[in-house]
Amino acid sequence: MTQYRDTELNELLAQGRIPRHVAIIMDGNGRWARRRGMPRIAGHRAGVESVRRVVSACGDHGVEVLTLFAFSSENWKRPQQEVGLLMELFLTVLKKEVKKLHRNNVRLKVVGAREAFSEKLQERIRIAENLTRDNDGLTLVIAANYGGRWDVTQAARQLAEQVARGELKPEQIDERRLGEHLAVADLPEPDLFIRTGGEQRISNFLLWQLAYTELYFTDVLWPDFDREQFELALRSFAGRQRRFGRTGEQVERVAGA
Ligand code: FPP
């Protein structure tokens, strides 16, 4: 059975129907913990295990970029204790995992308003990014203190500053130029978006970049999201026809040409 599944996925890979970029909202850690009578942070800790599994599966299937929403601009509103414990967890994970990521040729990139984090955490992020910057395997993007609206706003501000300095005319601003100032400008747009935990929302994740992304929602809680669940999402993606505004007939003509 496993062998059959692997063959099928290999075929999809050969047909170029494996997403280049997968973006995930890892939801459901709190509920996973509560169902076990455990504190919420235990769910986040279990969530780290799912991160490991998905990173490894992405590497195996040839996904180029994996973006994980680890902490949103709105997550500061959570109880102070949970925020503090999450920050500690990020620090520990960065310290513990970065060498392993490096050995596996993973390039780590953190996007978001990182100046809000402690100096210690910012320093760890810098160390991890510098160590892995030349790796050419999977690019792992951690969105931390990130919000889609924040991203578009900071890009607009950079353009406005260029206009104010006389380096740019307002009429030169187009989608391409704005896109170049977004936090993940150098990466392909996500092909597949996954949200675990049952909610069907984007929650201020990559608003600009998700314009044409295939959306996949699952009730599975993030700590229970394993390789098999990830492969279900890949298979769902492979079965979809991406039209980018064209008609189905046009897409079929191009594919058949
Ligand atoms: C959402 O679940 C999850 C988070 C806000 C944190 C995600 C963090 C991790 C998985 C930890 C490790 C990640 C990295 C990349 C180091 P929730 O708390 O909203 O769950 P609930 O909806 O069940 O309450």
Q: Calculate mean pLDDT across residues 76-88.
A: 93
The stretch 217-226 carries a mean pLDDT of: 98
Continuous segment of H or E residues that includes residue 71:
strand 65-72
CA distance 6 to 132: 29
- pLDDT, mean of residues 103-121: 95
Average pLDDT over residues 85-105: 94
Q: State the catalytic residue, choosing from 6, 10, 27, 174.
A: 27
Distances (CA, A) of 128 to 59, 120, 251: 19, 12, 42
What pLDDT is recorded for position 246?
74
> From ligand 1's centre to the CA of 44, what distance in Å?
5
Helix H segments across 62-205? 80-103, 119-132, 148-164, 175-179
In this prediction, residue 249 carries a pLDDT of 77
Q: What are residue 76's phi and psi, to 5 degrees? A: -60, -20
pLDDT at 255: 65
CATH superfamily of the 18-146+189-239 domain? Decaprenyl diphosphate synthase-like (3.40.1180.10)
Q: In the predicted model, what is the mean pLDDT of residues 152-157?
A: 97
Any ligand 1 atom below 6 A from CB of 85: no
- Pick from 69, 70, 138: which is nearest to 100 by CA? 138
Q: What is the mean pLDDT of residues 150-158?
A: 97
Please report, rounded to a whole number, the percentage of residues in the chain having pLDDT higher than 90: 84
With 80 as the cut, is the pLDDT of residue 93 above it?
A: yes
141 and 184 Cβ atoms separated by less than 8 Å: yes
What ligand 1 atom has the least distance to the C-alpha of 48?
A: 12
Asked if the model's pLDDT at residue 158 lies above 90, the reply is yes
Active-site hit among 6, 29, 75, 226: 75
pTM > 0.85: yes or no: yes
Q: Is the pLDDT of residue 1 over 50?
A: no
For the chain, what percent of residues have pLDDT higher than 70?
91
Nearest one of 89, 104, 93, 112 to 139, comparing CA atoms: 104
Report the nearest atom of ligand 1 relative to the CA of 68.
Answer: 15
Is residue 105 annotated as part of the catalytic site, yes or no? no
pLDDT tens, position by position, 167-210 = 999 999 999 999 999 999 999 999 999 999 999 999 999 999 99
The identity of residue 247, as a single letter, is: T
Report how far apart, in Å, the C-alpha atoms of 142 and of each of 68, 74, 125, 247 are: 5, 16, 10, 35
Active site (annotated) includes residue 27: yes
Q: How confident is the model at residue 8 (pLDDT cuts 50, 70, 90)?
A: low
Mean per-residue pLDDT for 222-231? 97
Displacement of CA 119 from its chain's centroid (Å) = 24
Cβ(220) – ligand 1 distance below 6 Å? no
Query: Residue 241 to residues 202, 210, 214, 219, 248: CA-CA distances in angstroms?
Result: 21, 16, 9, 23, 8
pLDDT digits (tens, 9 = 90+) for 17-49: 899 999 999 999 999 999 999 999 999 999 999
Q: Is 63 in the pocket of ligand 1 (CB under 6 A)?
A: no
Sheet holding 107-111, edge to edge: 107-111, 139-146, 65-72, 21-25, 192-195, 214-217
